[in-house]
Copies of this chain bind each other. A is one copy, B any other.
Amino acid sequence: MIGNNAPVWFGGDYNPEQWPEEVWADDVRLMQRAGVTIATVGVFSWAKLEPRDGEFDFAWLDRVIDGLHAGGVKVDLATATASPPPWLSAAHPEILPVTAEGVRLGVGSRQQYSPSSQVYRQYATRLVRALAERYGAHPAIAAWHINNEYGCHVAQSFDDESAAAFRAWLEAKYGSIEALNHAWGTAFWSQHYAEFSEVGPPRAMPSFPNPTQMLDFHRFSSDALLECYRAELAVLREVTPDIPVTTNFMGFFKPVDYWKWAKEVDFVSDDSYPDPADPLSPAFAAMTRDLMRSLRGGQPWMLMEQTTGAVNWRTRNAPKLPGENRLYSMQSVARGADGILYFQWRQSVAGAEKFHAAMVPHAGEETRIFREVTALGAELSTMGDVVGSRVASSVAIVFDWDSWNALEQAASPAQLVYLDEIMSWHWSLRALGVTVDFVEPGASVDGYSLVIAPALFAVPRSALETLAAVPARGGQLIVSYQTGILDENLHVQQGGYLGPLQAALGVRVEEFAPLAGPDLRGTGTAPVPTTAIRFGDTVRAASVWTELLHADDAEVLATFTEGLADGSPAITRRAAGGPDAQDAAGGTAWYVATRPDTATVYELLLDALGRAGIRPLLDGSNPDVEVVERAGTRWVLNFGRAEATVTVGDDTVTIAAHDLVRLPVA
């Protein structure tokens, strides 16, 4: 990432234009006190940098950057294009985004531009060029921060320019209208298009939209935002080829396919706002860190935004308790981050985020928040040894944006929540002290001894073949329900659900039977019942899903006990091998046709980890505690509100609430 030999980066978004200039010197003083090494400047400065069309005012920014530089603080300089100034949409209302219902969104908040607007891109790149030319040689500039949280409010726009761009995108993708007709399955419901000019985005319509039209519009919209990014990037590459570039991601963000985006940044950066009131937050945050690390194959990444205390955009906003800010920061470092930054440096006194906590709160420097910030800055300054180091993992979970979108479309067997499917596996692995990478479908998984594919719903056949090869080469493979159902066009996989995985797993899925509550009138509000499976001699709870399954060539580990699937296999295991597979000794494939309870998942995972030669570092009994190895250290973090005593490998350690210990790797 940012080339330096310094310790872990520490800092945050710095928006000096909100403050009178006399405050700026105090900002630098406090940054030094807090150990800040980098500030992200200019994220929302367009209206200040270009107060009228073509009139640039950089003098104030010169003073800001010079002041930071003099104070020893590096600058992550934003391109300031995230929020166009009011004059731009007043002059060019056609850049404003439009909802699926035809509502044109106006000024007063931020991000009011259509991703496909050429006018927007022209104005944005003109500003970027001016910034790059002015500051490209400034010694304070450590990185470029393009735009901000692409798509966070306007991920899709249905305006006419977007519709035209969508048509062009489709024509480039499909070549002929008949290829589109085939891919979209327009033979159904009389949707056949005679020519591309008849095609549009999925605006409000009478019933369920064509599923492939929906998915293609998701893909197009992600690409349209990416084109905005690329347009800025091209200017920066031309003017300042040596300065690394990033844009801040938002963790598991459905509208944008970060596998594709990550290829275009020099380092991944992420904005992360776990809810302190939610006991699932530590596990969800851990999963997010693992995704960020995985997006560029293990390269260290930067936590670009988090908060010191409470946010202000939930209905009710709990603060981080003492210790939690440090703990989430250390979780990030342990899971591969080389920088810890915040939104924002000094808490606003006006505007829509004035109740969002900051490094310097309203109450000033004599506060528990600023004390914690300062202590963390000091601690991170001692941790140069981790910078640049990698985190090793032998377990991979396949994660796929298309499957996410497709699985959560209406008109499905059951509206599942994709992240719940992913998290049900990641949560258990974390509780067992096993570190997980994420991989893109179709990517090589040769480096992993255990691969898990939960609800990998809609992928090219080749991606299923990649997984089917895992047990054949001696690896361990776990596949859960709703995997391999559709291909990349959302056509049912030829040759049966699971496609080429059928042979590897030794099973066939005949019919789905999602658990469902009474809903005669289709209101969708019925509670979902649970079910039970027989697992060896015991009966275990299971939830979400059942199906009619045939284990033609697999061992049955558990069976369903009621409903359509009564007596049918619920969990199967197939050992690879046999005459044609001499190199497959030890390879195994599990199929899990329901969501079992935690104890059952642990047993399955321990079996698979054992065969994979992976030793869990924890026993799963305290999911508040997690452990990760980086830079020769075991980071053991206790997110619980009580002291915890846990066995980590061969060591027993006691950790205070909201605290951590570091052990040498055994």
A residues near B (Cβ < 8 Å) are: 15, 17-18, 44-48, 51-52, 80, 82-87, 90, 97, 99, 101-112, 152-154, 184-194, 197-200, 202-213, 274-275, 277-281, 284, 309-310, 312-319, 321-322, 348-355, 357, 361-363, 367-369, 410-415, 489-492, 496-497, 508-520, 522, 524, 526, 528, 548, 563-564
Instruction: Contacts A109-B205, A310-B512 given; indicate if A414 touches B189 (C-beta within 8 A).
Output: no
| Pick from B186, B197, B275, B414: contact of A47, CB under 8 Å | B186
Output the residue of A208, A318, A363 with the most chain B CB within 10 A.
Answer: A318
Contact A191 B83 (CB under 8 A): yes
**A353–B154 CA distance with the chains assembled, in angstroms:** 29
Between A and B, 21 residue pairs with Cβ closer than 8 Å are A18-B185, A18-B187, A87-B198, A105-B204, A106-B205, A107-B205, A109-B205, A110-B207, A188-B351, A212-B350, A275-B516, A315-B522, A315-B526, A317-B414, A318-B514, A319-B564, A321-B564, A322-B564, A355-B512, A363-B510, A363-B511
Instruction: Contacts A87-B198, A109-B209 given; indicate if A204 touches B280 (C-beta within 8 A).
Output: no
- Nearest-Cβ distance from residue A633 to partner chain B, whole angstroms: 28
- Nearest-Cβ distance from residue A192 to partner chain B, whole angstroms: 4
Which residues of B lie under 8 Å from residue A82 when comparing CB positions? Answer: 190
Contact A185 B362 (CB under 8 A): no
Apart from A107-B205, A108-B191, A277-B519, list 5 A-B contacts with CB within 8 A.
Answer: A105-B205, A109-B206, A109-B210, A310-B514, A350-B490
Which residues of B lie under 8 Å from residue A351 when comparing CB positions? Answer: 185-189, 191, 210-211
- For A87, give the chain B residue with the smallest CB separation: B194
Output the residue of A45, A279, A314, A489 with the most chain B CB within 10 A.
Answer: A314
**A129–B102 CA distance with the chains assembled, in angstroms:** 37
Which residues of B lie under 8 Å from residue A47 when comparing CB positions? Answer: 186, 190-192
Contact B112 A205 (CB under 8 A): yes
**A190–B42 CA distance with the chains assembled, in angstroms:** 10
Closest 10 CB pairs of A and B: A185-B350, A188-B351, A315-B524, A278-B518, A153-B206, A316-B516, A47-B192, A83-B190, A109-B207, A316-B414
Contact B86 A192 (CB under 8 A): yes
Contact A315 B189 (CB under 8 A): no
**A461–B306 CA distance with the chains assembled, in angstroms:** 33
Contact B511 A369 (CB under 8 A): yes
| Pick from B278, B524, B564: contact of A314, CB under 8 Å | B524
Which residues of B lie under 8 Å from residue A563 when comparing CB positions? Answer: 321
Contact B514 A317 (CB under 8 A): yes
**A468–B51 CA distance with the chains assembled, in angstroms:** 42
Contact B208 A352 (CB under 8 A): yes
- For A85, give the chain B residue with the smallest CB separation: B190
Instruction: Contacts A153-B207, A207-B153, A519-B315 given; indicate if A353 touches B110 (C-beta within 8 A).
Output: no
- Nearest-Cβ distance from residue A365 to partner chain B, whole angstroms: 12
Which residues of B lie under 8 Å from residue A490 when comparing CB positions? Answer: 350, 354
| Pick from B51, B491, B548: contact of A192, CB under 8 Å | B51
Contact B520 A278 (CB under 8 A): yes
**A203–B108 CA distance with the chains assembled, in angstroms:** 8
Contact B412 A355 (CB under 8 A): yes
- For A525, give the chain B residue with the smallest CB separation: B315
**A310–B85 CA distance with the chains assembled, in angstroms:** 52
**A410–B109 CA distance with the chains assembled, in angstroms:** 13
Contact B513 A319 (CB under 8 A): yes
- Nearest-Cβ distance from residue A542 to partner chain B, whole angstroms: 15
Contact A314 B275 (CB under 8 A): no
**A520–B286 CA distance with the chains assembled, in angstroms:** 13
Which residues of B lie under 8 Å from residue A412 when comparing CB positions? Answer: 312, 355
- For A547, give the chain B residue with the smallest CB separation: B319
- Nearest-Cβ distance from residue A461 to partner chain B, whole angstroms: 14
Which residues of B lie under 8 Å from residue A414 when comparing CB positions? Answer: 315-317
| Pick from B83, B415, B517: contact of A277, CB under 8 Å | B517
- For A366, give the chain B residue with the smallest CB separation: B510
- Nearest-Cβ distance from residue A370 to partner chain B, whole angstroms: 10
| Pick from B90, B154, B350, B410: contact of A491, CB under 8 Å | B350
Contact A281 B194 (CB under 8 A): no
**A433–B17 CA distance with the chains assembled, in angstroms:** 54
**A354–B322 CA distance with the chains assembled, in angstroms:** 52
- Nearest-Cβ distance from residue A142 to partner chain B, whole angstroms: 23
- Nearest-Cβ distance from residue A178 to partner chain B, whole angstroms: 11
| Pick from B103, B190, B528: contact of A46, CB under 8 Å | B190
- For A84, give the chain B residue with the smallest CB separation: B190
| Pick from B188, B209, B509: contact of A18, CB under 8 Å | B188
- Nearest-Cβ distance from residue A498 to partner chain B, whole angstroms: 11
**A491–B548 CA distance with the chains assembled, in angstroms:** 56
- For A195, give the chain B residue with the smallest CB separation: B87
**A454–B484 CA distance with the chains assembled, in angstroms:** 51
Which residues of B lie under 8 Å from residue A213 when comparing CB positions? Answer: 108
- Nearest-Cβ distance from residue A284 to partner chain B, whole angstroms: 6
Instruction: Contacts A208-B352, A355-B412, A563-B321 given; indicate if A109 touches B187 (C-beta within 8 A).
Output: no
| Pick from B90, B207, B348, B515: contact of A316, CB under 8 Å | B515
| Pick from B187, B205, B319, B517: contact of A108, CB under 8 Å | B205
- For A18, give the chain B residue with the smallest CB separation: B187
Contact B313 A411 (CB under 8 A): yes
| Pick from B15, B84, B108: contact of A210, CB under 8 Å | B108
Contact B18 A510 (CB under 8 A): no
Instruction: Contacts A185-B348, A514-B318 given; indicate if A520 touches B207 (C-beta within 8 A).
Output: no
- Nearest-Cβ distance from residue A176 to partner chain B, whole angstroms: 15
Contact B316 A189 (CB under 8 A): no
Instruction: Contacts A86-B191, A107-B200, A350-B491 given; indicate if A510 touches B208 (C-beta within 8 A).
Output: no
Which residues of B lie under 8 Å from residue A193 when comparing CB positions? Answer: 86
Instruction: Contacts A18-B188, A352-B411 given; indicate if A111 touches B206 (C-beta within 8 A).
Output: yes
- For A354, give the chain B residue with the smallest CB separation: B492
Contact A106 B516 (CB under 8 A): no
**A79–B413 CA distance with the chains assembled, in angstroms:** 30
**A405–B108 CA distance with the chains assembled, in angstroms:** 18
